[in-house]
């Protein structure tokens, strides 16, 4: 049962994070593209966002069902209508989840509709706003509801948005870098050189807010060093912090070692393909570590502090 719930949470976290981070990336890092490159990126982005929206809806339904199994008498209640209704209408989780499922369905509708029209900044902003609402609303369920007052839930919302901007933005960044490292023309390289410093600036704020809000949440949930090292919940928090530190180290290597060498293209020198390829591979590794961090977050939600 726990494995089913953890898996549903992991897929849902990953999908919601991708929806927000990728749509936000498109707003700040995909301007001034050539017509051909812009059309290819928009096509990839819309397909990726639609896939993420469908995954968010299906994993949201699976999460709801997993809680019904937990609250009921096991797998016999997985499709029990009365148990499912009780979870959805008689719990704080359910009242939030109704809105979250509606947002997921609306995102799918918008993305299906926009596939027949141009991907305009207005539509992009709408998708990013809906994705932000989907992500922030996760602060209304789980351990955040254990604490009275708005401090914990506000910190949780900031944590989610900052992580979404950083982790979700890695996916479109890796797509652009992959194209730039393999394309024979310089148009994708130009896009990469435009996107990299903008993603980096967003990353500075995102990493800072993830760290500060995470420390506040961890202190409120654990309350002391003994719980951090002496409980399973605390050890998973330590594992998540280690993964965060590893991601930050890779990000700093990319920013202060690889990017200055690639940025030589702005001065008229063509960046070496192996440098772009190394940065691309580094971002892919960062995505893998981020997925492990999301797994740790998924496990934390099933444990008592």
Query: For the chain, what percent of residues have pLDDT higher than 70?
Result: 89
Give the DSSP letter string of 156-185: HHHHHHHHIIIIIHHHHHHHHHHHHHH-SS
- The answer to whether position 270 is within a domain reads yes
Between these two residues, 160 and 302, which has the higher pLDDT value? 160
Is it the case that residue 58 has pLDDT exceeding 80?
yes
**Residue 293: partners with Cβ closer than 8 Å, 6 or more residues away:** 167, 240, 243, 244, 247
Q: Show the domain range for 170.
A: 2-300
Point out the least confidently predicted range of 16-20, 65-69, 105-109, 266-270.
266-270
**Which of 203, 204, 155, 178 lies closest to 25 in space, CA to CA?**
203
**pLDDT the model gives residue 266:** 57
**pLDDT the model gives residue 11:** 97
**pLDDT the model gives residue 149:** 57
**Residue 262: partners with Cβ closer than 8 Å, 6 or more residues away:** 192, 193, 196, 271, 275, 276, 279
- The answer to whether position 190 is within a domain reads yes
- The answer to whether position 180 is within a domain reads yes
pLDDT in tens, 261-299: 877 655 655 555 578 889 999 999 999 999 999 999 999
Mean pLDDT of the region 56-76: 85
Mean of per-residue pLDDT scores for the chain: 87
Is it the case that residue 44 has pLDDT exceeding 60?
yes
Point out the least confidently predicted range of 90-99, 117-126, 156-165, 239-248.
117-126
- The answer to whether position 104 is within a domain reads yes
For the entire predicted model, the pTM comes to 0.92
- CB burial string 199-223: b at 16+ within 10 A, e below: beebbeebbebbbebbebbbebbbe
CB 199 within 8 A of CB 173: yes
**pLDDT the model gives residue 81:** 81
**pLDDT the model gives residue 236:** 94
Point out the least confidently predicted range of 60-69, 100-109, 184-193.
184-193
Is it the case that residue 192 has pLDDT exceeding 70?
yes
- The answer to whether position 305 is within a domain reads no
C-alpha–C-alpha distance, residues 54 and 15, integer Å: 9
What is the number of structural domains in the chain? 1
**pLDDT the model gives residue 53:** 98
**pLDDT the model gives residue 275:** 80
Q: Calculate the CA 128 to chain-centre distance.
A: 12
Is it the case that residue 185 has pLDDT exceeding 70?
no
- The answer to whether position 85 is within a domain reads yes
Number of other residues whose CB lies within 10 A of the CB of residue 264 = 14
Helix (H, G, I), strand (E, B) or coil at 82: helix
**pLDDT the model gives residue 147:** 53
CB 165 within 8 A of CB 202: yes
pLDDT in tens, 199-258: 999 999 999 999 999 988 888 888 777 777 888 999 999 999 999 999 999 999 999 988
- The answer to whether position 283 is within a domain reads yes
Is it the case that residue 85 has pLDDT exceeding 70?
yes
**Which of 155, 138, 31, 134 lies closest to 93 in space, CA to CA?**
138
- The answer to whether position 83 is within a domain reads yes
C-alpha–C-alpha distance, residues 185 and 183, integer Å: 6
**pLDDT the model gives residue 270:** 54
**DSSP single-letter state for residue 255:** I
């Amino acid at each position: 049962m726990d494995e089913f719930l953890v898996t549903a949470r992991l897929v849902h976290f990953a999908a919601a994070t991708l929806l927000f981070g990728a749509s936000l990336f498109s707003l700040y890092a995909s301007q001034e593209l050539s017509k051909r490159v812009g059309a290819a990126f928009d096509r990839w982005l819309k397909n990726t966002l639609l896939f993420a929206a469908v995954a968010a809806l299906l994993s949201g339904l699976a999460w709801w069902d997993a809680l019904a199994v937990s609250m009921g008498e096991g797998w016999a209640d997985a499709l029990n209508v009365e148990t499912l209704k009780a979870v959805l209408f008689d719990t704080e989780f359910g009242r939030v989840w109704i809105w979250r499922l509606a947002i997921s369905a609306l995102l799918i509708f918008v993305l299906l509709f926009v596939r027949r029209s141009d991907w305009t900044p207005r539509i992009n902003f709408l998708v990013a706003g809906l994705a932000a609402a989907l992500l922030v609303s996760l602060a209304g369920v789980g351990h955040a509801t254990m604490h009275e007052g708005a401090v914990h839930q506000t910190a949780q919302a900031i944590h989610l948005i900052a992580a979404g901007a950083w982790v979700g933005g890695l996916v479109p960044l890796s797509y652009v870098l992959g194209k730039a490292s393999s394309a024979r023309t310089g148009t994708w390289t130009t896009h990469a050189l435009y996107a990299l410093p903008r993603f980096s600036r967003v990353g500075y704020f995102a990493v800072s807010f993830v760290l500060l809000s995470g420390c506040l949440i961890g202190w409120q949930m654990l309350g002391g060093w003994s719980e951090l090292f002496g409980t399973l919940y605390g050890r998973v928090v330590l594992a998540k912090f280690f993964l965060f530190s590893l991601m930050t180290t890779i990000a700093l290597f990319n920013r202060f070692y690889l990017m200055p060498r690639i940025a030589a293209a702005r001065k008229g020198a063509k960046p070496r393909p192996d440098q772009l390829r190394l940065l691309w591979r580094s971002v892919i590794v960062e995505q893998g570590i981020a997925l492990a961090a999301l797994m740790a977050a998924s496990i934390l939600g099933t444990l008592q502090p």
